[in-house]
Structure formats: C-alpha cells, structure tokens
C-alpha cells in the first residue's frame, strides 16, 4: 500500500464528524483509483477515510460491516451520505499481499491465497445485504456493452478473445449458467487481502461483494497472481490448492468474457 503524506489546511471541507479525528493527525493519501479518495489517518490504531461521489459507497459500507460481523474485515465506524459519500473504517493490522515479504515467497503466497478463498467460499451468507451479485454483475456488463465500454487489456492469450464482439457472444450464450450460491469478495486481488506475518487479518474494498458465483473470485485470484508476480506459472498450483474439483475452466472463461465489460 502506497502512502503519500498530505497536509490539510482547511478541515471545513470534511464533515464535522471527522474533523476532530483529522485534526493534529499525520495524514496520508492511499488512494488507488480516480473514482475515490482514501486518506489514512495515523492516530490511535489508524483509520481510513474514503470519499466518493454520492451513492457509490453504500454497498461497500454494508458489505464491510457484514464481513466485520464474521471476523473478516474492518469495523465501519461511520457512513455519511452528503454531497459525497464518506466511509470511515478502522485499520486492519498488517500489510496487504503486495508487500515485498509476501511477493518474495510466491509459492506460499499462492497457497495462502487459495486456502483463504476456499475458507471464504465455505462461509454461510445468511443475512448478506447483497443476495444476488450475479444479477447485478450481468446487468452492469450489458449496460457497458450498450455504451461501447470495454477493456482491451483483457484480450489475452489466456482466454483468446480477439474482440469485444467475440467476448460478448460468450456472455450471451452462457451467462445464464452463473450461480448465486457463494459468499464472494468480488475483487479478490492481492492488495485487498491483509496478512500479519502470514496470518490472515481481513479483507478490504468489498464494494463488489455479495452472493454470487465462485468463479468470479477464482478469476480475479488467478489474474492477480499473473499480474503481481509477472508470470502465469502459479495458476495451476492455485487451482490445486483451492480444490480442482470445484473449478470449471469453461466458467472461468465465461467470467473473463464478462469482465471485458466490467
């Protein structure tokens, strides 16, 4: 996680509830996307304050609190809907899986990633605030297809798509096969998993979570190993550690087609 020191001279731009926490604290920008701004507040055990356009953080707040109730994420201290959405969470102790000490041991990292995902997928989803991730997942892809929005970076040799049209034909033909029977992270990538000296301490960035098809998480897990380790040599090791009998290659190919329009 990259932390860049920042200095705030006017706290009035923040909701009054957060000003005492921000005042006098060391502050760092830890944003990782243009859609949201994240400030790490280095006070007490540490806090993260996230802001994003109105209406975009409610799902993340609900899913984070749900995972926290299962001992799988940070406590949500505040969620405020104003001109922007504001989400305040406690810091989970440890480092995300892109830390050098984890990347330097790729075999152990791969196995840890798989074992933790298998445990998540075995967790009951009673009371989950997002009961049909699959419906939203397919709807979002269809909307992006209509807008002509797609990611050519996912036209890879792994899945063989040469165009958006080819990928969409797979979605149209097989999209109905996706299930909604597993508790998902939804963006199961190395930066979103916090370990403390290899002990699992929690998940972050749960805005894509819900009850859906396990192959969504499996796709992102194999993708993140390829992306962060700069090699695809750990894909089969990961699948073996997760449980090869629970992985359908055709379903992974379907998810990869949907993610072209994600």
Going from the C-alpha of 47 to that of each of 12, 87, 227, the distances in angstroms are 19, 10, 28
CB 95 within 8 A of CB 197: no
pLDDT for the residue numbered 77: 97
DSSP string, 192-247: GEEEETTEEEEE---TT-EEE-HHHHHHHHHHHHHHHHT-STTHHHHHHHH-GGG-
Q: What is the pLDDT of residue 162?
A: 82
Q: Which helix (H) or strand (E) holds 37?
A: strand 37-42
Give the model's pLDDT for residue 32.
Answer: 79
Q: Which DSSP string corresponds to 102-150?
A: HHT-HHHHHHHHHHHHHHHHTS--TT-S-S-HHHHHHHHHHHHHHHT--
Query: What single DSSP character describes residue 262?
Result: -
Give CA–CA dist 76/222, Å, rounded. 29
- Annotated active-site residue 187? The verdict is yes
The pLDDT score that the predictor gives to residue 154 is 60
Catalytic residue among 85, 187, 205, 207: 187
Per-residue model confidence as pLDDT tens digits over 179-234 = 999 999 999 999 999 999 999 999 999 999 999 999 999 999 999 999 999 999 99
Cα dihedral 237/243/248/251 (nearest 10): -80
Q: Which pLDDT value is given to residue 155?
A: 54
pLDDT of residue 157: 56
Place of tokens 């073996």: 240
Collapsed DSSP state (helix, strand, coil) of residue 185: coil
d(CA 229, CA 226): 6
Provide the pLDDT for residue 160.
67
Architecture in CATH of 4-90: 2-Layer Sandwich (3.30)
pLDDT value, residue 193: 98
60-69 pLDDT per residue, tens: 999 999 999 9
pLDDT by residue for the chain (262 residues), tens only, comes to: 678 888 887 888 899 999 999 998 999 998 877 889 999 999 999 999 999 999 999 999 999 999 999 999 999 999 999 899 999 999 999 999 999 999 999 999 999 999 999 999 999 999 999 999 999 999 999 999 999 998 776 655 566 688 889 999 999 999 999 999 999 999 999 999 999 999 999 999 999 999 999 999 999 999 999 999 999 999 999 999 999 999 999 999 999 999 999 8
Secondary structure element (H or E) that encloses residue 52, with its range = strand 47-53
Q: What are the extents of the domains in the chain?
A: 4-90, 95-259
**What pLDDT does residue 158 have?**
61
Q: What is the C-alpha to C-alpha distance for residues 92 and 233, in angstroms, rounded to an integer? A: 30
CATH class name, domain 95-259: alpha beta
CA distance 7 to 26: 8
């Amino acid at each position: 996680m990259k932390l860049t020191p920042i200095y705030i001279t006017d706290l009035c731009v923040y909701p009054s509830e957060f000003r005492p926490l921000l005042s006098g604290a060391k502050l760092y920008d830890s944003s990782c996307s243009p859609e949201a701004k994240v400030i790490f507040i280095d006070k007490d055990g540490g806090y993260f304050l996230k802001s994003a356009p109105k209406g975009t953080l409610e799902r993340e707040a609900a899913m984070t609190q749900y995972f926290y109730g299962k001992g799988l994420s940070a406590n949500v201290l505040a969620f405020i809907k104003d001109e922007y959405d504001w989400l305040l969470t406690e810091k989970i102790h440890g480092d995300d899986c892109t830390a050098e000490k984890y990347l330097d041991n790729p075999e152990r990292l791969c196995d840890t990633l798989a074992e933790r995902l298998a445990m998540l997928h075995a967790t009951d989803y009673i009371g989950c605030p997002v009961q049909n991730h699959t419906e939203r997942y397919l709807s979002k892809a269809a909307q992006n297809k209509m807008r002509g929005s797609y990611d050519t970076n996912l036209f890879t040799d792994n899945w063989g798509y040469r165009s958006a049209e080819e990928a969409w034909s797979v979605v149209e033909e097989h999209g109905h096969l996706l299930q909604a029977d597993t508790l998902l992270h939804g963006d199961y990538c190395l930066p979103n998993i916090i370990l403390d000296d290899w002990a699992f301490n929690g998940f972050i960035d749960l805005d894509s979570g819900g009850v859906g098809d396990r192959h969504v998480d499996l796709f992102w897990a194999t993708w993140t190993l390829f992306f962060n380790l700069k090699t695809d040599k750990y894909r089969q090791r990961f699948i073996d550690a997760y449980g090869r009998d629970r992985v359908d290659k055709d379903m992974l190919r379907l998810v990869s087609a949907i993610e072209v329009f994600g």
